[in-house]
Copies of this chain bind each other. A is one copy, B any other.
Amino acid sequence: MREVTSLSIATTAERTGVSAHTLRYYERIGLIDPVGRDENGRRTYRDTDLARIDFLRKLRSTGMPITRMQEYVELIRAGESTEPARLQLLEDHRRRVLHDLEHLNDCLGAINTKIDLYRRSTP
């Protein structure tokens, strides 16, 4: 038996780390294109869907707001001509991520300093 390319919402939830509730929500708000359905009307997810979800998850978990993500997928739907705009959007987001990395590192420094302080006073 081969690996099937069509997964249930439960399996998709498990594999992507996005709850079934959230998967439906993402579809509802247009973040995910309507996925396929089986003969019983149940959602079926393909590898390409999974890939999309994974990437969206990465955008989300790096702090991109839902509305921004909606813009992004709108651009995808609008066709190839929007590639420069998509590039722009991702580059903007990358700047944000780089900034966050810097900030996190900065804060890490302060936390380390504090930890060292406690270590010295409580050996």
CB-CB under 8 A from A115, the residues of chain B are 87, 90-91, 94
Contact A61 B101 (CB under 8 A): no
CB-CB under 8 A from A119, the residues of chain B are 87
- Residues on A facing B (Cβ under 8 Å): 55, 58-59, 61-62, 83-84, 86-87, 90-91, 93-94, 97-98, 100-101, 103-108, 110-112, 114-115, 118-119, 121-122
Number of copies: 2
With A118-B87, A122-B87 in contact, do A97 and B93 touch (Cβ < 8 Å)?
no
Assembled-state Cα–Cα distance A114/B112 (Å): 34
Q: A80: nearest residue on chain B (CB-CB)?
A: B121
Describe A's contact surface by its main secondary structure.
Answer: helix
- Complex A-B, nearest 8 residue pairs according to Cβ-Cβ distance, in ascending order: A87-B118, A58-B107, A83-B122, A62-B107, A58-B110, A90-B115, A97-B108, A94-B111
Contact B114 A83 (CB under 8 A): no
Q: A87: nearest residue on chain B (CB-CB)?
A: B118
Some 25 contacts from A to B, beta carbons below 8 A apart, are A55-B110, A55-B114, A58-B106, A58-B107, A59-B107, A59-B111, A61-B107, A62-B107, A62-B111, A83-B118, A83-B121, A84-B122, A86-B118, A87-B118, A90-B115, A90-B118, A94-B108, A94-B112, A94-B115, A97-B107, A98-B108, A100-B104, A101-B101, A101-B105, A101-B108
